Amino acid sequence: MGHSPFLDVEGASEFPKTNHDTLKGDFCQALRCQDKIRPFMHPKSKRYTTSNRHRSTWWRNEFEKNYERIYAPILTKERTAKEVDFLHKVLRLKHGASVLDLACGYGRHALELAKLGYDVFGTDQSPAFIAKAKRQAKRAGVHVTFKQQDMRELSMDHPMSAVIIMFTSFGYFPNDRDHQKVLFRVARVLKSKGYFLLDLPNPYIIRMHLKPHPRRIGGLTLIDIYHPKTKRWSIVWKNRRGKTLIRAGVRIFSLAEITKMLRKTGFEIKKIWGEFDHSAFQKKSRRMIVLTQKIS
């Protein structure tokens, strides 16, 4: 899938605070757009059109083209190092253990995990991201097996010790049947008692505090809206001329929902954190990082 375009909800913690007086026009536009930024529909819905079908695969094309432009300011080496150190400590795998970075993007986590001595694999639906990941691995002098693959069709040649999905890269599809299918695929490629770590946004923060006002980040305008009925977070990125670069959406899972889905797939939840500093998950946490283990 590629890493997600959805920033931490309180993005102001990583960027200078926005002067909202300068964004009144954009704010009015955001309110007008609430009905236009519609959640994605089930493909069998009567209202499911070619346009909706295009939006349901938003992670392709423009997302790939603009990904680095949007995320360069926040996906720092320091952030990646902190996240990889967290993974290393909580997974507690032996040297040489096999780790799959599912929706690996251009290999931000996969490359660093390989440097720690793991046997790392990375899959992503984007050929462009996979090509860049391979180039970066070669430059870094590390071995990672990268493969272009839709996570709904995930398959591996041998079982993994652990699978990770980072940076809100789960929830892209227009229906939960596909999301459940991904979890079944993850269980299938894991060894018995293997670990699966899922990094999600905190649903409580999204539902209670996400407001439809614009934010300016890196010369771009971001407008995000939460749709309670469909439980989807929609986001639009526009450039300085007002042209839409990315129109995206992701399913926001409550803790109860994701727990039910994981148990249905044969996973047992071991622990949940609210941030990569190992702090416990609370309603005010930024993230919902779920560590599970395959039961059999």
Q: Give phi and psi for 281, each to the nearest 5.
A: -75, 130
Is 60 exceeded by the pLDDT of residue 252? yes
Q: What average pLDDT does the segment 268-293 reach?
A: 98
For the segment 66-93, what is each residue's pLDDT rounded down to a tens digit? 777 777 778 899 999 999 999 999 999 9
Q: Which residue has the higher pLDDT, 13 or 242?
A: 242
- Kindly report the average pLDDT of the chain as a whole number: 83
Domains located in the chain, CATH noted: 17-72+204-251 (no CATH), 78-200+255-294 (3.40.50.150)
pLDDT of residue 56: 53
For the segment 78-133, what is each residue's pLDDT rounded down to a tens digit? 999 999 999 999 999 999 999 999 999 999 999 999 999 999 999 999 999 999 99
Q: Which residue has the higher pLDDT, 74 or 168?
A: 168
Chain-centroid distance of CA 232 in Å reads: 13
Question: Where are the extended beta strands (E) located within the chain?
Answer: 98-102, 119-124, 144-148, 160-165, 190-201, 214-217, 220-227, 232-238, 244-251, 267-273, 287-294
For the segment 174-201, what is each residue's pLDDT rounded down to a tens digit? 999 999 999 999 999 999 999 999 999 9
